[in-house]
């Protein structure tokens, strides 16, 4: 129940153990094609260039930025947490002329402030995190996307934690380059990064004056392996792709809307329970992520002691705070297979025990009772 990896479905783990075939084996090519079809459904896009980059979520971040950035390009990166900060660092390393917009950790950007910056900077690319896992805040994207496009720029979106947990409407919102990761709400082991490039992003890639500075993540090469040519580029992590294929199949069997609703339902129950125990959310009510619940650690409580007790006595992992939130928040994940009542209720009961052991006066049973009332 941390910020990822989330629990994996037994079918996904079983898929990992299937025989490893060659990366050009007809069976594997079929797995790839089916994965692309399913990824388009999950991303809600028709984008041809939709594939699973070999590497964790950060590889998708690197792919999305490095294919669109050439030395000297003007890029705006919106930073409101650790992962926005990582995007800014990458864009600078790629030689971009980076303007960083900042919001305090836990807040989100208004479309007005992005509009002002876009007008001032006239960037080629704007990059923003949808679900900031380091803070638990959900960034609305629809209006920002329109502002970016009206200025002729491209929008790169980090959907590592959002995809599969809350709606990510790539086509309806007009997002140009979007990446995710397998171990958050897709509930697979870490190792692949689903990426989708829309028509404007592909056109920008095709119009580059210089080669993509990363050979491994160069989509103009990688797309020949995932496309019709099937030209060898690198050896795909075969078994990880089996796992993603099975994870996506399970997701679509449940249904995208049903899955979003399940995340929300369990978040509402968890939140009622945590609040009944006297805990406060670190993020304003209108931008809380269902799949990542950041709460303030009660005064006088030892962060590590509680987390260690949860892990050793109950086998539950929750996350600590990152950056300026270190020692100030706990991050409780309800991602994918983790987002079920059994985990919500077990955590609330276990947390009551650990908080009580650390001198916090929790009303007995209040957390579990409040969550059960919501679940009913």
Ligand X SMILES: *Cc1c(COP(=O)(O)O)cnc(C)c1O
Report the nearest approach of ligand X to the CB of residue 364 (Å). 35
> What are the phi and psi torsion angles at 103 (to 5°)?
-125, 150
In the complex with ligand X, the residue whose CB is nearer, 190 or 298, is 190
The 3-state DSSP class for residue 242 equals helix
For residues 270-279, one letter each, b for 16 or more C-beta atoms within 10 angstroms of the residue's C-beta and e for the rest, the string is bbbbbebbeb
CA-atom Rg of the chain in angstroms: 21
In the complex with ligand X, the residue whose CB is nearer, 57 or 194, is 57
In the complex with ligand X, the residue whose CB is nearer, 179 or 242, is 179
Report the nearest approach of ligand X to the CB of residue 84 (Å). 8
Q: Is the dihedral of CA 238, 239, 242, 244 positive or negative?
A: negative
> What are the phi and psi torsion angles at 179 (to 5°)?
-130, 155
Q: Taking Cα atoms as reference points, which of 283, 287, 295, 282 lies closest to residue 348?
A: 295
In the complex with ligand X, the residue whose CB is nearer, 129 or 295, is 129
In the complex with ligand X, the residue whose CB is nearer, 240 or 354, is 240
Report the nearest approach of ligand X to the CB of residue 214 (Å). 15
The H helix count followed by the E strand count for the chain is 13, 12
In the complex with ligand X, the residue whose CB is nearer, 291 or 309, is 291
The 3-state DSSP class for residue 295 equals strand
Identify the bridge partners of residue 101 per DSSP, sorted by sequence position: 78
In the complex with ligand X, the residue whose CB is nearer, 333 or 367, is 333
Q: How far apart are the C-alpha atoms of 8 and 10, rounded to whole Å?
A: 6
Half-sphere exposure of 296 (CA within 13 A, CB side): 12
Where do contacts with ligand X occur on this chain (CB under 6 A)? 4, 56-58, 61, 83, 129, 131, 133, 158, 160-161, 181, 184, 190
Report the nearest approach of ligand X to the CB of residue 38 (Å). 20
Report the nearest approach of ligand X to the CB of residue 373 (Å). 31
Report the nearest approach of ligand X to the CB of residue 198 (Å). 20
Report the nearest approach of ligand X to the CB of residue 190 (Å). 5
The 3-state DSSP class for residue 172 equals coil
Q: What torsion do the CA atoms of 269, 140, 62, 322 make, to the nearest 10 degrees?
A: -50
Query: Token pair of 352, please?
Result: 């009551």
């Amino acid at each position: 129940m941390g910020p990822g990896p989330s629990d994996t479905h037994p079918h996904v783990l079983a898929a990992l153990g299937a025989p490893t075939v060659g990366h050009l084996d007809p069976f594997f090519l079929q797995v790839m094609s089916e994965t692309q079809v399913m990824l388009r459904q999950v991303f809600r896009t028709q984008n041809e260039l939709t594939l699973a980059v070999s590497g964790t979520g950060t590889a998708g971040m690197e792919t999305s930025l490095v294919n669109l950035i050439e030395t000297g390009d003007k890029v705006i990166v919106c930073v409101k947490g650790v992962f926005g900060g990582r995007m800014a660092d990458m864009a600078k390393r790629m030689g971009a002329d980076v303007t960083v917009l900042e919001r305090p950790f836990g807040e989100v950007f208004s479309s007005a402030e992005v509009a002002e910056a876009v007008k001032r900077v006239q960037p080629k690319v704007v990059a923003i995190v949808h679900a900031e896992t380091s803070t638990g805040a959900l960034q609305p994207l629809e209006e920002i996307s329109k502002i970016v496009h009206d200025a002729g720029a491209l929008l790169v979106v980090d959907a590592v934690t959002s995809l599969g947990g809350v709606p990510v409407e790539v086509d309806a919102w007009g997002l140009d380059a979007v990446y995710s990761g397998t171990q958050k709400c897709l509930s697979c082991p870490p190792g692949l990064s689903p990426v989708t490039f829309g028509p404007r992003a592909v056109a920008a890639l095709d119009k580059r004056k210089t080669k993509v500075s990363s050979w491994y993540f160069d989509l103009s090469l990688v797309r020949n392996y995932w496309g019709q040519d099937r030209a060898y580029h690198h050896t795909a992590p075969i078994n990880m792709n089996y796992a993603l294929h099975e994870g996506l199949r399970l997701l679509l069997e449940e249904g995208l809307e049903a899955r979003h609703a399940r995340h929300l339902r369990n978040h509402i129950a968890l939140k009622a329970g945590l609040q009944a125990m006297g805990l406060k959310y670190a993020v304003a009510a209108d931008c809380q992520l269902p799949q990542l619940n950041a709460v303030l650690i009660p005064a006088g409580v030892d962060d590590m002691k509680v987390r260690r007790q949860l892990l050793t006595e109950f086998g539950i992992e929750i996350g600590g705070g990152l950056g300026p939130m270190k020692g100030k928040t706990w991050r409780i994940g309800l991602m994918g297979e983790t987002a079920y009542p059994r985990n919500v209720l077990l955590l609330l009961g276990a947390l009551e025990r650990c908080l009580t052991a650390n001198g916090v006066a929790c009303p007995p049973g209040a957390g579990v009772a409040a969550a059960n009332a919501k679940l009913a």
